[in-house]
């Protein structure tokens, strides 16, 4: 667990320690010297901007980067016109990559006018060898590049890049290490993500994540529960347990523990009121987990259960290891066991070889399950994955027609599902003042739906019982019920 460490007390003239995380604290102390020097020269603190471009796991990594930068003495800003900008990249789909190259162009223009600026890139995209090569060759103005496996070494690598002008690039192919106890700065004071595992062993044939995040590694229950306890003591009331496939949690640990057992332990921590998790793979979702969810007052009635396709034939080619029928059966058992469960999903359209009939199977499941919401994606070819070299890639025009048809269906169904709660009294956790209308605050139901109610900043982080007055498709307007 992270404890406040006084960086000023670290002897910066001695050799760096070899053990972790002490070594990184040593380099944080070194960086802080640099910040003090900057402050003297410029009469202000240097500003840093961390840009998160990926999933919840990336977002959590960004909080770690922010925690380190704040400890060093940087002032955080949302503006990319800063002294230090770091992009925490995602590469799950091709368009994510193109965005990074585009944005780097803008950063370069700014850096030309402000030559002292430092630019860093990290995250999943950097783990792809062709990306690293391109950055080295054509983006030499970038100061620092590192990957997903050595994120914990950020202070050491940052110190090296502050000292020289040459690009510092360090990328590892994999790791079995999990370094605990580095500082983290949470975006929200009342809720937090908690990593329970890293990497993925599933190798779905379209997906690049196992290549860029490495093999599955579970954190020990002791470290996870310690972190949740500390968060609770710090005012956090909602945790989201994070992993690419939380249902296989514990399988790589010496003393095996199941995900359902871990949830039961998290549940015992007093001040934690809401527990969420992400992501569940249908093939590993155990009856034990359904039962724990059904009987728990704290686990939210929301399950994100990516289906990817409704066609058993395509599912097999995707290496998902379940069939259409198994998915439908699972959805049915979940809905029966957990009243008012909100079931959400991810769907890919246009996987190689997808026929009209396969697509109709997907539409079929969408109608039968009635998802509360669904993220729909156009299949994106990822270099190095088995699907990239499959024959029968579906023509773009065909994919577009299917995609639009699916999107329409998904939106109609989710609006119908949302409508059924109108008029009910439900509890929300207030998250922020509404960015468009400051007389409103925005919170979330247990099922993850967004609700806007009249209120002010003092309500942030509190639970409020509200009447859901009006449903707007995928969000609600509500009114707090007054307890006289």
Residues binding ligand F3S (CB under 6 A): 54-55, 57-58, 90-92, 124, 209, 212-213
Number of helical H runs and strand E runs in the chain? 13, 19
How far apart are alpha carbons 422 and 437 in whole angstroms?
22
Nearer to ligand F3S, 16 or 210 (CB): 210
- Report the chain's C-alpha Rg in angstroms: 23
245 lies in the binding site for ligand SF4 (CB under 6 A): yes
What 8-state DSSP symbol labels residue 385?
S
Nearer to ligand SAH, 181 or 361 (CB): 361
* Shortest Å distance, C-beta 58 to ligand F3S: 4
Token pair of 409 as six digits: 């269906």
Which range in 68-76, 173-181, 205-213, 460-468 contacts ligand SF4 by CB under 6 A? 205-213
User: Which residues would be at the binding site for ligand SAH (CB under 6 A)?
Assistant: 92-93, 206-207, 209, 244-245, 279, 281, 306, 308, 346, 348, 377, 379-380, 382
Nearer to ligand SAH, 52 or 66 (CB): 52
Which range in 28-36, 120-128, 202-210, 461-469 contacts ligand SF4 by CB under 6 A? 202-210
Given ligand SAH, ligand F3S, ligand SF4, none, residue 54, with its beta carbon under 5 to 8 Å by kind, binds: ligand F3S
How many other β-carbons are positioned within 10 Å of the β-carbon of residue 201? Answer: 14
Given ligand SF4, ligand SAH, ligand F3S, none, residue 380, with its beta carbon under 5 to 8 Å by kind, binds: ligand SAH
Nearer to ligand SAH, 143 or 205 (CB): 205
218 lies in the binding site for ligand SF4 (CB under 6 A): no
Given ligand SAH, ligand SF4, ligand F3S, none, residue 203, with its beta carbon under 5 to 8 Å by kind, binds: ligand SF4
Three-state DSSP at 296 gives: coil
* Shortest Å distance, C-beta 54 to ligand SF4: 12
How far apart are alpha carbons 194 and 277 in whole angstroms?
9
How many other β-carbons are positioned within 10 Å of the β-carbon of residue 149? Answer: 21
Q: For residue 416, which phi and psi values (nearest 5 degrees)?
A: -65, -45
How far apart are alpha carbons 27 and 10 in whole angstroms?
10
Nearer to ligand SF4, 267 or 346 (CB): 346
Which range in 8-16, 197-205, 363-371, 457-465 contacts ligand SF4 by CB under 6 A? 197-205
How far apart are alpha carbons 238 and 190 in whole angstroms?
7
How far apart are alpha carbons 460 and 171 in whole angstroms?
40
Is there a cis peptide before residue 21, judged by omega within 30 degrees of 0?
A: yes
Among 192, 195, 244, 345, binds ligand SF4 (CB under 6 A): 244
What 8-state DSSP symbol labels residue 154?
H
* Shortest Å distance, C-beta 341 to ligand SAH: 18
Q: What are the C-alpha distances in Å from 160 to residues 5, 18, 200?
A: 22, 16, 31
């Amino acid at each position: 667990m992270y404890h406040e460490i006084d960086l000023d007390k670290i002897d910066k003239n001695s050799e760096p320690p070899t053990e972790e995380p002490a070594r990184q604290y040593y380099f944080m102390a070194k960086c802080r010297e640099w910040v003090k020097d900057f402050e003297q020269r410029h009469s202000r603190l240097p500003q840093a901007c961390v840009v998160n471009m990926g999933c919840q796991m990336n977002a959590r990594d960004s909080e770690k980067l922010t925690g380190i930068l704040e400890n060093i003495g940087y002032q955080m800003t949302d503006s990319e016109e800063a002294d230090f900008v770091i992009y925490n990249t995602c590469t799950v789909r091709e368009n994510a990559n193109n965005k990074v190259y585009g944005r780097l162009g803008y950063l370069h223009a700014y850096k030309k006018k402000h030559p002292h600026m430092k630019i860093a890139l990290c995250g999943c995209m950097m783990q792809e060898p062709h990306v690293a090569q391109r950055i080295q060759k054509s983006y030499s103005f970038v100061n620092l590049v590192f990957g997903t496996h050595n994120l914990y070494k950020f202070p050491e690598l940052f110190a090296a890049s502050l000292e020289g002008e040459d690009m510092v690039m360090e990328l590892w192919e994999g790791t079995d290490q999990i370094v605990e106890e580095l500082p983290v700065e949470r975006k929200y004071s009342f809720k937090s993500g908690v990593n329970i595992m890293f990497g993925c062993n599933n190798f779905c044939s379209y997906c690049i994540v196992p290549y860029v995040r490495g093999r599955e590694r579970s954190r020990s229950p002791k470290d996870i529960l310690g972190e949740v306890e500390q968060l609770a003591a710090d005012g956090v009331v909602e945790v989201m347990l994070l992993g690419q496939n939380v249902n296989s949690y514990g399988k790589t640990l010496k003393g095996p523990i199941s995900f359902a057992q871990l949830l039961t332990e998290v549940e015992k921590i007093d001040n934690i009121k809401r527990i969420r998790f992400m992501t569940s793979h249908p093939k590993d979702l155990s009856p034990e987990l359904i039962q724990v969810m059904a009987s728990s007052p704290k686990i939210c009635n929301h399950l994100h259960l990516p289906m990817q396709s409704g066609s058993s034939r395509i599912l097999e080619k995707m290496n998902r290891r379940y069939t259409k029928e198994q998915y439908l059966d699972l959805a049915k058992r979940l809905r029966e066991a957990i009243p008012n469960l909100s079931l959400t999903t991810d769907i890919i359209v246009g996987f190689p070889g997808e026929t009209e009939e396969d697509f109709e199977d997907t539409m079929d499941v969408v109608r039968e399950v009635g998802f509360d919401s669904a993220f729909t994606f156009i299949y994106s070819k990822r270099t190095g994955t088995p699907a990239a070299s499959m024959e029968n890639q579906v023509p773009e025009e065909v994919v577009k027609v299917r995609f639009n048809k699916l999107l329409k269906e998904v939106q109609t169904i989710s609006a119908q599902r949302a409508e059924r709660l109108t008029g009910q009294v439900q509890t929300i956790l207030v998250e922020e003042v509404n960015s468009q209308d400051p007389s409103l605050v925005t919170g979330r139901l247990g099922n993850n739906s967004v609700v806007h109610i009249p209120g002010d900043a003092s309500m942030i982080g509190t639970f409020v019982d509200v009447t859901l007055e009006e449903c707007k498709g995928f969000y609600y307007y509500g009114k707090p019920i007054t307890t006289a």
